[in-house]
């Protein structure tokens, strides 16, 4: 049975920079800015204004076809505007991000309490393999205390599963 678990580790790098597109990839069938605006619900005038105000690295009016980074940028910034950000709020929301704002909005979230963008936790495929590697690492490091704690937790979990409800 293949399962996934969320990575929870204090050493996890949650920098939103990992959610940036390289920006230079050209699409085989590139979209134009108006089509992207229509699909995201962004008013065309608002998109033009975003370009004029420096929130976009390109001018939507004079860009007939979008490269990957431009489309990602328009979708990201556009979704914030569609979500209700006025120019002042938008400025505050992106002040900690690097221009161009070509961030994949499906990979980052805004942490309101910390007032910063964070990378969404990655899913770990095949946690059994990750766990086995961790156990081997603990053994190689001679970390008997952690291995004993794990063994106790596993034994308790098995006891709970075997006991009648």
pLDDT of residue 65: 92
For residues 146 and 74, state if they share a domain.
no
Based on the domain organization, do 87 and 137 belong to the same domain? Answer: no
Residue carrying the six token digits 């033009």: 48
pLDDT over threshold 70, residue 128: yes
Supply the range of the domain harboring residue 134.
Answer: 125-162
pLDDT digits (tens, 9 = 90+) for 129-143: 888 999 999 999 999
Q: For the chain, what is the domain count?
A: 2
DSSP state of 62: G
CA 59 – CA 74 distance, rounded (Å) = 11
pLDDT at residue 25, rounded to an integer: 59
**Cβ(66)–Cβ(33) under 8 Å?**
yes
User: What distance in Å separates the CA atoms of residue 72 and residue 57, rounded to the nearest whole number?
Assistant: 11
Give pLDDT tens digits for 17-61: 888 887 665 666 789 999 999 999 999 999 999 999 999 999 999
Residue count of the chain: 165
pLDDT digits (tens, 9 = 90+) for 65-97: 999 999 999 999 999 999 999 999 999 999 999
In whole angstroms, how large is the CA radius of gyration of the chain? 23
The region of weakest confidence among 4-13, 27-36, 97-106, 146-155 is 4-13
Is the same domain home to 141 and 104?
Answer: no
Read off the tokens for 67: 């490269």
**In a shared domain, residues 75 and 148:** no
Question: What's the pLDDT score for residue 97?
Answer: 95
| Mean pLDDT in residue range 124-131 | 84
| 37 and 68 belong to one structural domain | yes
């Amino acid at each position: 049975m293949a399962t996934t678990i969320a990575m929870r580790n204090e050493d996890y790098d949650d920098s939103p920079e990992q959610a940036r597109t390289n920006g230079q990839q050209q699409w085989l069938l590139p979209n134009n800015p108006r089509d992207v605006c229509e699909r995201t619900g962004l008013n065309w005038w608002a998109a033009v204004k975003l370009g004029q105000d420096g929130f976009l690295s390109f001018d939507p009016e004079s860009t007939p076809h979008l490269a990957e980074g431009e489309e990602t940028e328009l979708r990201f910034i556009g979704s914030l505007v569609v979500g209700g950000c006025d120019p002042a709020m938008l400025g505050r929301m992106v002040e900690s991000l690097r221009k161009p704002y070509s961030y994949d909005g499906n990979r980052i979230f805004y942490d309101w309490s910390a007032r910063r963008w964070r990378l969404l936790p990655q899913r770990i495929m095949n946690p059994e393999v990750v766990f086995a590697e961790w156990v081997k690492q603990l053994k190689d490091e001679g970390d008997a205390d952690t291995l004993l704690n794990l063994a106790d937790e596993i034994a308790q979990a098995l006891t709970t599963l075997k006991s009648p409800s």
